[in-house]
Amino acid sequence: MVFYLLVAAGAALFTFLLIHQGAPQVMTAFASAGWWIAAVVIYHLAVPVLLDALAWWSLFPRTERLSLWELFWMRWIGESVSTLVPSAAVGGDVVRARLAALHGASIPAAAASVLVDVTLGVFVQIVFTLLGLALIITATGHQSFVRPTLIGAVIGVLAIVGFYVVQRLGMFRFIGKMISRLANAEDWHSLVHSGHTLDEAIRTQYARRSGVVGCCAWTATSLILGSGEIWIALYALGLHATLVNAVILQSMVLTIRSLVFPVPGALGVQEGGYVVVGNLLGIPGDAAFALSLIARVRELILGIPGLVAWQVIEARRVFRARSVLNAR
């Protein structure tokens, strides 16, 4: 019920903003981008997705490290699931951990790498948000949203530190014990051992300083260079395309999407973020809305094939399992 209410609210906000900014003007601005949208799609796949894959790759122990190519397409599929499937952006991380385990990594190493990647990624994104906040204050002089942004950043840091601490303390072994006691059955006792194994894998990955530093460095590079696709979109729309404007839009919109993660695809909220931040930067509302539409089209062009690829992989696995059973 809550899911449908969030979808309806997001769709209503999207429609309101489209009408308010002028649907004909928005569509005209969007159409003016033309084939530059293809450049945005290619850039996103070749730069942010690849750099995010490198961040994930750096966390794997050398003995279980998959190839960069494998982690690249797993990251692409995971992003596709997070973007297009209503799973509160968590489903994609679960899918890429599963794919890594299916292709050679142990289950503890695959799951731990994703958990650590997500934890470090949130921390780096908070720093990136503060960078965007400093840039927007310098560029526009507006300070009305400084306090709420800083409060949100402090809350985010405290939350991620808390999550890190419970990971180091052995959260999965504790969860396994609780479930085992509640179920009061021998079959569930294996969860305690599994949780302990996962906790050890997480501690091992945090203990590898080179992996942690590498993950943070690649993630930060991905966020900064990822602003390039917004720069391309700004240029395509004939707007004032500067690296500073691109970084500001990238950081603020990512922050807004993270804060409203329960809304599927941040529908309506993302558009509102582009319009509000764009207006501060002197970008007309219709052009700012068109920027969001370009991002939506990029998500669809990359996301739909990613979902199809995921379903093909799962279908082939089921088919092979059935073939083995039939052969017996």
Q: What is the DSSP string of 118-186?
A: HHHHHHHHHHHHHHHHHHHHHHH---TTHHHHHHHHHHHHHHHHHHHHHHHHTHHHHHHHHHHHHHT-H
Q: Using a CB cutoff of 8 Å and minimum separation of 24, what contacts does 183-187 make? A: none
Amino acid at 129: T
Look at residues 10, 8, 36 and name the one whose alpha carbon lies nearest to residue 291: 36
* Total domain count, the chain: 1
The whole-number pLDDT of residue 179 equals 39
Give the global pTM: 0.85
The whole-number pLDDT of residue 181 equals 47
Look at residues 217, 194, 200 and name the one whose alpha carbon lies nearest to residue 112: 200
Q: Are 225 and 136 in contact (CB under 8 A)?
A: no
The whole-number pLDDT of residue 82 equals 87
Q: Report the phi/psi class of residue 88: left, alpha or beta, with left for phi > 0 and alpha for psi in -120 to 50.
A: left
The whole-number pLDDT of residue 142 equals 67
Q: Supply the DSSP symbol for 66.
A: P
Query: How far is residue 19's CA from residue 1's CA, in Å, rounded to a whole number?
Result: 27
Q: Supply the DSSP symbol for 67.
A: P
Query: How far is residue 157's CA from residue 151's CA, in Å, rounded to a whole number?
Result: 10
Query: How far is residue 206's CA from residue 322's CA, in Å, rounded to a whole number?
Result: 39
Give pLDDT tens digits along the chain (328 positions).
Answer: 666 677 777 778 778 788 878 788 888 888 888 899 999 999 999 999 999 999 999 998 888 889 999 999 999 999 999 888 765 556 788 889 889 988 888 888 888 888 889 889 988 988 898 888 888 888 777 666 666 666 766 676 667 676 666 666 655 554 444 434 444 444 434 444 466 677 788 888 888 889 999 999 999 999 999 999 999 999 999 887 788 999 999 988 888 887 776 777 777 788 888 888 888 888 888 898 999 999 999 999 999 999 999 999 888 888 877 776 766 6
The whole-number pLDDT of residue 101 equals 86
Query: How far is residue 146's CA from residue 137's CA, in Å, rounded to a whole number?
Result: 8
Q: Are 57 and 290 in contact (CB under 8 A)?
A: no
The whole-number pLDDT of residue 219 equals 96
* 199: exposed, middle or buried (Cβ count in 10 Å: 0-12, 13-18, 19+): buried
* 186: exposed, middle or buried (Cβ count in 10 Å: 0-12, 13-18, 19+): exposed
Expressed as residue numbers, the domain containing 207 is 2-327
Look at residues 165, 191, 166 and name the one whose alpha carbon lies nearest to residue 178: 191
Query: How far is residue 309's CA from residue 266's CA, in Å, rounded to a whole number?
Result: 24
